[in-house]
Amino acid sequence: MGVSNNITSVLNFIAILTSIPIIASGIWLSSKPDNICIHNFRWPLVILGLLILLLSLSGFIGAYWNKQGLLALYLFSMALLIVIVLVLLVFAFVVTRPDGSYVVPGRGYEEYKLDGFSKWLRNYVTGSGSWEKIKTCLADSDVCVKLTRNYITSDQFFASHISPLQSGCCKPPTACGFTYVSPILWTNPVNAIADPDCYLWNNDQSQLCYNCNACKAGLLGNLRKEWRKANIILIVAVVVLIWVYVIACSAFKNAQTEDLFQRYKRGWV
């Protein structure tokens, strides 16, 4: 195996290692309650990581055993994959850039407005009748119930840093002026006309604020927060992949030159 192929093998081993955090972050995302309830958001990173892993393995095999055809296919496929990752990265940044959160005085958590998020994200997640399935899934989860295990007094709860999903779905909006009984039990609103969601709040554990716009906004807030973290991993991954690809292309050309030189050398002998 020539020096160029040795370099390509090492580079593809690095790319294989790069796929591991991508797959791990995809599994982490898929385990979150919001992503569990939105099936199409669960697996993109896992699939992307697996594709990088498979392509890197093919590149490693092609370089180690000097399979020029496999290496050429690998380089073409990797270029296509890098373009896909870049498009996904830019798209993810654009749709998660708007932030619908706002600070609530005297509270450790933030609350969320639906119109503060990107139109695409709002329509995709909460439009076309999809919310009925999502809210049923959320109601069946323990995302709200587990708040009662973590917080007892109102002071503890008001100072907490609960997730956007819990802030929007598990309690009524603060502006309504409900009296705290437990994190998922509230009574006697003081200002019921402050927000349309005030009328939608229900102490029934299967309903709570799952019909509220605040809940939809909280779900989008969760998705935004999680995907912004995943974007950091994607940025690192795409930088590594571009670096690997550029050097691999150079090594591939050098390997072809070495092969051509060896053929001429054998011909002269």
What is the tens place of the pLDDT at every residue in 31-68?
777 667 876 666 778 888 888 889 888 888 877 777 77
Tally Cβ neighbours within 10 Å of residue 65: 12
Q: How far apart are the first and last CA of the chain?
A: 21
The tens digit of pLDDT for each residue in 166-197 reads 999 999 999 999 999 999 999 999 998 999 99
Given a cut of 90, whether residue 264 has pLDDT beyond it is no
Beta-bridged to residue 202, according to DSSP, are 208
Q: Which amino acid is at 201?
A: W
Residues 79 and 55 sit within 8 Å (Cβ to Cβ): no
Residues 182 and 148 sit within 8 Å (Cβ to Cβ): yes
pLDDT at 1: 45
The tens digit of pLDDT for each residue in 56-113 reads 888 888 777 777 777 788 888 888 988 988 988 898 889 888 899 999 999 999 999 9
Q: Which amino acid is at 186?
A: W
pTM score, whole prediction: 0.83
Tally Cβ neighbours within 10 Å of residue 262: 11
Task: Return the structure tokens found at 231.
Answer: 């974007």
